[in-house]
Amino acid sequence: MTGGQIAGLIAAIALLILVLFIGMFLVKLNKTLGELNRSMKTMTSDVDTLSHQTENIMANANELLADVNQKVAKIDPVFQAAADLGESVSDLNTATRKLTDRVGETAKKSATSSLAARVGKTAFDLYRSRSRKHQTND
């Protein structure tokens, strides 16, 4: 064999090895793309299922919200009545405090008047008893 034939044989073997590696690469790439395609189909199916479930949840949430709004509207007067009652109790407490203050002031005035009356009566009694002593001594 000549040098050119040996070089051609080496080039042919190198080309054969290159074609084999490219073929193996393409087979692996084909498997990977196949798995990717299956995964995409599964994900699409799962996303569709999730989308339907999400729509159902949103519909149920909307119904629940409407129900809660109706019930809150029914309860609103109760809270208003409780607020009005609280305001009335506060007004009653204020009126009671004012009345208590007035009664206390009146009681103080009455006590002062009563004390003055007792002192006056005692002084008058002393005066009368002295006057009687002076009359009996005269």
**What pLDDT shows up at residue 138?**
59
pTM over 0.95: no
Phi-psi region of 55 (alpha: psi -120 to 50; beta: other; left: phi over 0): alpha
What is the pLDDT averaged over residues 32-37? Answer: 95
**What pLDDT shows up at residue 44?**
93
**Confidence category of residue 75, pLDDT binned at 50, 70, 90:** confident
- What is the rounded distance in angstroms from the CA atom of residue 50 to the CA atom of residue 36? 20
Quick check: 131 pLDDT over 80? no
Per-chain mean pLDDT for the chain: 86
